[in-house]
Amino acid sequence: MGAYLLRRLLLLIPTLWAIITINFFIVQIAPGGPVDQAIAAIQFGDSSALPGSGGGDGMGSTHARTGVATPGDSQYRGARGLDPEIIAEITHRYGFDKPLHERYFQMLWNYLRFDFGDSLFRSASVVQLIKDSLPVSVTLGLWSTLIIYFVSIPLGIRKAVHNGSRFDIWSSAAIIIGYAIPPFLFAVLLIVFFAGGSWFDLFPLRGLVSANFDTLPWYSKITDYLWHITLPVLATVIGGFAALTMLTKNAFMDEIRKQYVVTARAKGVPERQILWGHVFRNAMLLVIAGFPATFISMFFTGSLLIEVVFSLNGLGLLGYEATVSRDYPVMFGTLYIFTLVGLLLNILSDLTYTLVDPRIDFEGRG
């Protein structure tokens, strides 16, 4: 297993390189970069974007280190009528006056050292922004994954035992409807009904904790946190029950039909002992081992829109705002972290398979 794990870890390097490289060159043809926005700000009367005025948080030297984006070497469309020296100074401030290949290799060297530079439009480094945002996304993904497992596994087992019954039919209809509802739409409905939208004002509309969280006693901090996290977690898990519930049901039904179950029943072994002593252990292999993959799904796909709707300062919202404002160092830094976490969790998923069932040998497959 050690050799397999080493191979997977070594594969992280070319995978990260490919993703970052592809996105770097895609950005080169994307219009509306930071320089374009600075020029537009000047034309609309924002003096903070002028060279030497402290605009862009005064981080031009660090921006040059990131080297993630460029608006191109041609004249900017919105620059007509501005002093060429001002345009040149703005371009230099953001580090886009260097050749493309120089920015690219400088970016690779910085990313190898986890040096993502500073945000173009915030007074903080990219590492600090990610450090502040990561716990929110991890918390949301972890709570959602745990709730999905605690609900879907018992539900799937009962559906397998009572296959074809009324309970099986109406529960299948319910989870299919839940799967069909987009999480962001369900989040809006929760806000309308329970967060002071039109009906009840039971839960807060935004944030993960209250403004006076630090002054609360420990027990009030717990209730305040749970009070804030309820609606975002509910919105995240609405579509997550279907796949795991059906996976659990099908895994149990497949095991129930096997010969060892028929033999155990013929010997008079109690049905409860057969179900929990034999079927459960074998059927739960895929379900338990798939925990990291489920967390990946919640962490990546579930976080972005939910964080935007509920104004949670997680990686999803951070990446979204960076994309809108063309804050390329933050945008690429979050992409890098998302990719790295996803690849590490995929490796953890393979390790979980071997822990649940030692008969699985990834290394033997060479």
At 333 the pLDDT is 86
DSSP string, 151-198: HHHHHHHHHHHTTTSHHHHHHHHHHHHHHHS-HHHHHHHHHHHHBSSS
Pick the closest to residue 69 from 333, 312, 364 (CA basis). Answer: 333
**Side chain identity at 362, as an amino acid letter?**
F
CA–CA dist 237, 253 (Å, integer): 25
CA–CA dist 42, 255 (Å, integer): 68
Determine if the pTM surpasses 0.85.
Answer: no
Pick the closest to residue 293 from 342, 236, 339, 248 (CA basis). Answer: 342
DSSP assigned state of 76: P
CA–CA dist 101, 116 (Å, integer): 18
SS3 for 277? helix
Pick the closest to residue 250 from 122, 160, 158, 339 (CA basis). Answer: 160
Structure tokens at 68: 């993630």
Which stretches of the chain are DSSP H helices?
2-27, 34-43, 60-66, 84-93, 100-112, 126-161, 166-180, 183-194, 218-237, 241-256, 259-266, 271-274, 280-289, 291-300, 303-310, 315-325, 328-356
Q: Do 124 and 80 touch, CB atoms closer than 8 A?
A: no
CA–CA dist 95, 104 (Å, integer): 12
Using CA atoms, how far residue 211 sits from 221, 224, 227, 250, in Å, is 11, 10, 13, 46
* Domains recognised in the chain with CATH numbers: 13-115 (no CATH), 128-365 (1.10.3720.10)
Residue 100 has a CB neighbour count (10 Å cut-off) of: 15
CA–CA dist 171, 164 (Å, integer): 11
At 278 the pLDDT is 77
DSSP assigned state of 120: S
Structure tokens at 103: 């920015």
At 170 the pLDDT is 93
At 167 the pLDDT is 92
CA–CA dist 93, 197 (Å, integer): 44
Each residue's pLDDT tens digit in the chain (366 positions)?
677 788 888 888 888 888 888 888 877 666 666 666 666 666 665 555 444 444 444 333 344 344 433 344 444 444 445 567 666 766 666 666 677 788 788 888 888 888 888 887 788 888 899 888 888 888 888 888 889 888 988 899 889 888 889 999 999 998 888 888 888 888 888 888 888 766 878 888 777 888 888 888 888 888 888 888 888 888 888 877 888 888 888 888 888 888 888 888 888 888 888 888 778 877 777 677 667 767 776 766 656 778 888 888 888 788 888 887 778 888 888 888 878 887 887 788 777 777 766 666 665 555
Bridge partners for 257 per DSSP: none
